[in-house]
Amino acid sequence: MKKYVVLILSVGLSLGAIAKEGMWLPQLIAQLNYDEMQRMGLQISAEDIYSVNQSSLKDAIVHFNGGCTAELISNKGLLLTNHHCGYSQIQKHSSLEHNYLKDGFWAQTLAEEKPNPGLYAAIIDRLEDVSNQVLAGTNQSQVTEKRDSIINANIKGLLAKLKEENPALSYEVKDFFYGNQYILIAKKIFNDVRLVGAPPSSIGKYGADTDNWVWPRHTGDFSVFRVYANPDNQPANYSEENVPYQPAQHLKVNIAGVEEGDFTMVYGFPGSTQQYLPAAEVENIIEVYNPARIAVRDEILSILDAKMRVDEATRLRYASKYARISNSWKRWKGEILGIARTDAIAKLKEEEAAFKMASKSNPKLKGKESLVTELADLYKKRMPLSLERFHYIEVGYFGIESFRYALGFGALIAAAEEGDEAALTKAAEQAAKRYQSFMKDYEYQLDLQVAQAILPMYLDAVSTDLPDIIADLKGEDAEDRQEEIEDFFEDALFLHAGFEEKVLDNPKSMAKKIAKSELYQLSRAMYDHYFAVIAAGLSEYESAIKSKQAEYVAALPIAFPEKPFYPDANSTLRVAYGQVKGYEAKDAVEYNHQTYLSGVIEKYVPGDYEFDLPQKLIDLYESKDFGPYANEEGKMPVCFVATNHTTGGNSGSPVLNAKGELIGLNFDRAWDGVMSDMYFDKSICRNVMVDLRYVLFIIDKLGGAHYLVEEMDLVTTRPGQDEDSKEEGTQQNLPQAG
């Protein structure tokens, strides 16, 4: 804990520095960032952003189902997030007759809003530094395992005590700066969250995978939900009794538009980043891990794409799998380019050299000179095993669909071996159900082709302590491998018609046959090898790496007292700030900060699965029926970019102006700068947002749901504008409106 106090103090002294990056803890903004934010244009107080004593903007920020962010935009619990965040809920309510993914959906009354069992919305009650309590009884010299067990016991005790004091809240303790700091998160969890509206996918997912991570962008990536509470305005499970939640605070929506240079702030739940890796590990990622993972996915994606382009049924079955596989694949490629383009490795090495110098001259950093070298060494030694790990994950776990599916027969096989009849019947029923849902979106030939393409990549990559079935296949030549893989697929009963009846009729003999099938055995062997050899081997490095990283991040602010440091993203509430700004994409290519509906129309390809458009949008464009949402020139804004430091999990985050009013909905980053998870460079790192004017235009004009807009508080002047009118003195002597 003492260490962290030093860290905060030294950071606190560095207010003069310009933060070019960062995902900051909202409760520390007053201390660390507020002066700079004000200089950049912020007009509200730090207490307005985060406070435990009064309502603040944080009361309007929602962690949406644990993975995305959302925000409350009316006093009746209206909730805004991305289309891709609400996608599975929209999908679940869709059928052939009511295809909401295709046609969009707008509830006309509260009664038409659709419940979503399992979906939850969490609102932060307070954040509290509990490092002292968590670290009590530990000291630096203790071995990590023992230290961990003390820490875990302390956390458990703390959580139990809090739950007893106030059972209405949920509690969690999170680790920051590799365990230098622990923060308690107290939150309210709402389990009745209903779907209110969504645009058609041709708007909400416009440009799909081709435009994913791309700027200039033209996607209306939003959907609308509502949080419900019990009649006392407290969280409750779904009930007809429930009423719209009245939040302590909701965001005002500003439709006066943005200009280049405007202050912006993103308030949300970024998932994970790796900002303090040594150059050596960034090199591993860029030169070894990313290329290996990309190579596997290149194969999968090209096989899927070839079939999806010519077969409509395949396209429907595989669209969302394709989107998932291509999302990270594309980001990894962008990371490689961004690291090269910004010369990040060389710059990180310079920073490391500076750290070494500082350690030599600063008595507080005695013994830290070799820290980076030691850390780099650990990462280098870990590399071969890490590479095996990525190959297993990409091939055996996520790549070959039937391999992952096969792993699920463990319970059936165990029940048969134990001779437990009741368990066997139950497992057989489960197996039959799993077969059905797996087959719904599965194509045997495609999966076989994928397996033949990527299993050899795994076989060539693994070498440590291989079980026979893997070693044998590894030893074969390319042609034999292909034949074997085909045989494995043919012999796997659970991939063929009739399995369902057979497993229900005769579970015992089917369990035996599955256990004997080579596809099952191979997948199982790969899985077991992963845990017994790969993960176990890696764990030997993990604690050493974590404690060296902890030492490093604690030493950095001592070495560079003028530089502010922020903790890596870890799915906790953060604030990033920056300004609206285009960028130079490459030599002679300059990107503007804003796109317009005219650009949506330019990309339109009738009938295409990524770039088709609803006729109504085209009609609205042609008649220029934009309501109050167009800019002064009569153009309809769609998306914009800014310099905020964001990552996965920030999807759906509100983007706020200088007055804390909602101007944008975050949904992506620009490809050229996605290496910001490891290395942020303000010249090309940009977050991508839908302009709130486009969101409202679609809700109002395309969806015909004007009543939703009426629920919101709209602001029609830019933060600068009312400042001007004040300066002119027109209203200076009038009493302030309440």
Active site residues: 84, 221, 651
Residue 128 parent element (H or E): strand 121-129
The residue (of 275 and 647) whose beta carbon lies closer to ligand ARG is 647
- Applying CB under 6 A, the span of 162-170, 248-256, 446-454, 664-672 interacting with ligand GLU comes to 664-672
Does the footprint of ligand GLU cover residue 650 (CB under 6 A)? yes
One-letter amino acid of 163: K
649 binds, among ligand GLU, ligand ARG, none (CB under 5 to 8 A by kind): ligand GLU
For the chain, give the number of residues. 738
> Is 212 a binder of ligand ARG (CB under 6 A)?
yes
Tell me how far the alpha carbon of residue 210 is from its chain's centroid.
19
In the complex with ligand GLU, the residue whose CB is nearer, 331 or 593, is 331
Residue 401 binds which one of ligand GLU, ligand ARG, none, with CB within 5 to 8 A depending on kind? none
Q: How many other C-beta atoms are found inside a 10 Å radius of the C-beta of residue 327?
A: 16
CB of 327 to ligand ARG, least distance (A): 4
Question: Would you count residue 651 as binding ligand ARG (CB under 6 A)?
Answer: yes
- Span from 472-480, 539-547, 563-571, 663-671 in contact with ligand GLU (CB under 6 A): 663-671
Q: What DSSP string describes 642-663?
A: E-----TT-TT-EEE-TTS-EE
Q: Which x/- pattern, by CB under 6 A, does the window 588-627 give for ligand GLU?
A: ----------------------------------------
Nearer CB in complex with ligand GLU: 219/523: 219
Residue with tokens 């891709």: 84
What residue 650 binds from ligand GLU, ligand ARG, none (CB within 5 to 8 A, per partner kind)?
A: ligand GLU
> What's the 3-state SS for 555-587?
HHHHHCCCCCCCCCCCCCCEEEEEEECCEEEEC
Q: Taking CB under 6 A as the rule, does residue 131 contact ligand ARG? A: no
Q: Which residue is nearest to ligand GLU (CB)?
A: 651
Q: Is 668 in the site for ligand ARG (CB under 6 A)?
A: yes
Q: Which of 514, 495, 516 is nearest to 506 (CA)?
A: 514
Per residue, the 3-state secondary structure of 300-344, as one string, reads HHHHHHHHHHHCHHHHHHHHHHHHHHHHHHHHHHHHHHHHHHCCH
CA distance 474 to 457: 10
- CA 701, distance to chain mean position in Å, is 30
* H or E stretch covering 540: helix 536-559
Asked if 668 interacts with ligand GLU (CB under 6 A), we say: yes
The piece of 208-216, 223-231, 518-526, 703-711 that touches ligand ARG (CB under 6 A) is 208-216
Report if residue 315 touches ligand ARG, rule: CB under 6 A. Answer: no
Residues 75-114 that bind ligand ARG (CB under 6 A): 84
Structural tokens at position 681: 């460079």
Please report, as residue ranges, which positions from 249 to 308 form the binding site for ligand GLU (by CB under 6 A).
none
Minimum CB distance to ligand GLU smaller for 199 or for 649: 649
209 is an interface residue for ligand ARG by CB under 6 A:
yes
CB of 329 to ligand ARG, least distance (A): 10
Question: Is residue 649 part of the contact set for ligand GLU (CB under 6 A)?
Answer: yes
The one among 208, 229, 286, 511 contacting ligand ARG by CB under 6 A: 208
R_g over Cα of the chain: 27
* Angle formed by the axes of helices 507-516 and 410-418, nearest 10°: 120
DSSP H/E element including 664: strand 662-669
Residue nearer to ligand GLU on the CB measure, 278 or 654: 654
Long-range contacts, 617-625 (Cβ 8 Å, 24+): 617/203, 617/702, 620/701, 620/702, 621/597, 625/701
Number of amino acids touching ligand GLU (CB under 6 A): 9
Q: Rule CB under 6 A: say whether 672 interacts with ligand GLU.
A: no
Tell which one of 213, 215, 626, 629 touches ligand ARG (CB under 6 A). 213
Select 68 or 466, whichever has its Cβ closest to ligand GLU: 68
Q: Are 529 and 471 in contact (CB under 8 A)?
A: no
383 binds, among ligand ARG, ligand GLU, none (CB under 5 to 8 A by kind): none
Peptide bond just before 467 cis, omega within 30 deg: no
**Cβ 655 vs Cβ 263: under 8 Å:** no
The site partner of 647 among ligand ARG, ligand GLU, none (C-beta below 5 to 8 Å per kind) is: ligand GLU
Closest separation between CB of residue 673 and ligand ARG, Å?
A: 13
Conformation bin of residue 650: beta by default, left when phi > 0, alpha when psi is -120 to 50: alpha
Sign of the torsion angle spanned by Cα atoms 405, 406, 409, 414: negative
Quick one: which of 651, 664, 695, 701 contacts ligand GLU (CB under 6 A)? 651
Q: Interface residues with ligand ARG (CB under 6 A)?
A: 84, 208-209, 212-213, 323, 327, 648, 651, 668
Q: Interface residues with ligand GLU (CB under 6 A)?
A: 646-651, 667-669
